[in-house]
Copies of this chain bind each other. A is one copy, B any other.
Amino acid sequence: MNDAPPPPAGRAAADWLGEVGFDANGLVTAVAQDAASGRVLMVAWMNRESLALTAATGFAHYWSRSRGRLWKKGEESGHLQRVVELRLDCDGDVVVLRIDQAGGIACHTGRESCFYRRLEDGRWVTVDAVLRPPEDIYRGGLPHGDGHGSR
């Protein structure tokens, strides 16, 4: 019943981004989950540009609040995240990325996941091993600040 012509490709791309509810700082929460194991690997932030780049390239890009710049996950560490699936929540302000994690390491501490501490009897206990020492990962010095996931 709609005789209007389909929108041009550029408009279509803008539309899906327009449905995303970026907050007052222009950010959404992004959860990266291992596509095979289902493990939650890290949680970080995306602005409009990083979300658009993630969709266009198929590799996760985030926004670093502390450094005030876009970063491609793995740009320093090599721990790229290839996106298998991208989902949006009911409120439109959180995305979940199901990804393939290069190197099997998402955390800047050299662990598979940033969530390596478990609450046990009123204490946070580190229950996951370091798979690769951070000094091996970052030859030019450790990343610092807003360190959700390795650079």
Check B119 against A55 for contact (C-beta < 8 Å): yes
What is the bound-complex CA distance between A31 and B147, given in angstroms? 18
Interface size on A, residues (CB 8 A): 41
| Residues of chain B lying within 8 A (CB to CB) of residue A19 | 124
Neighbour of A40 across the interface among B31, B115, B146, CB < 8 A = B31
SS of A interface (majority): mixed
| Residues of chain B lying within 8 A (CB to CB) of residue A124 | 16, 19, 88
What is the bound-complex CA distance between A43 and B87, given in angstroms? 13
Check A37 against B40 for contact (C-beta < 8 Å): no
The verdict on A140 contacting chain B, using a C-beta distance below 8 Å, is no
The verdict on A68 contacting chain B, using a C-beta distance below 8 Å, is no
The verdict on A102 contacting chain B, using a C-beta distance below 8 Å, is no
What is the bound-complex CA distance between A118 and B119, given in angstroms? 32
What is the bound-complex CA distance between A19 and B42, given in angstroms? 18
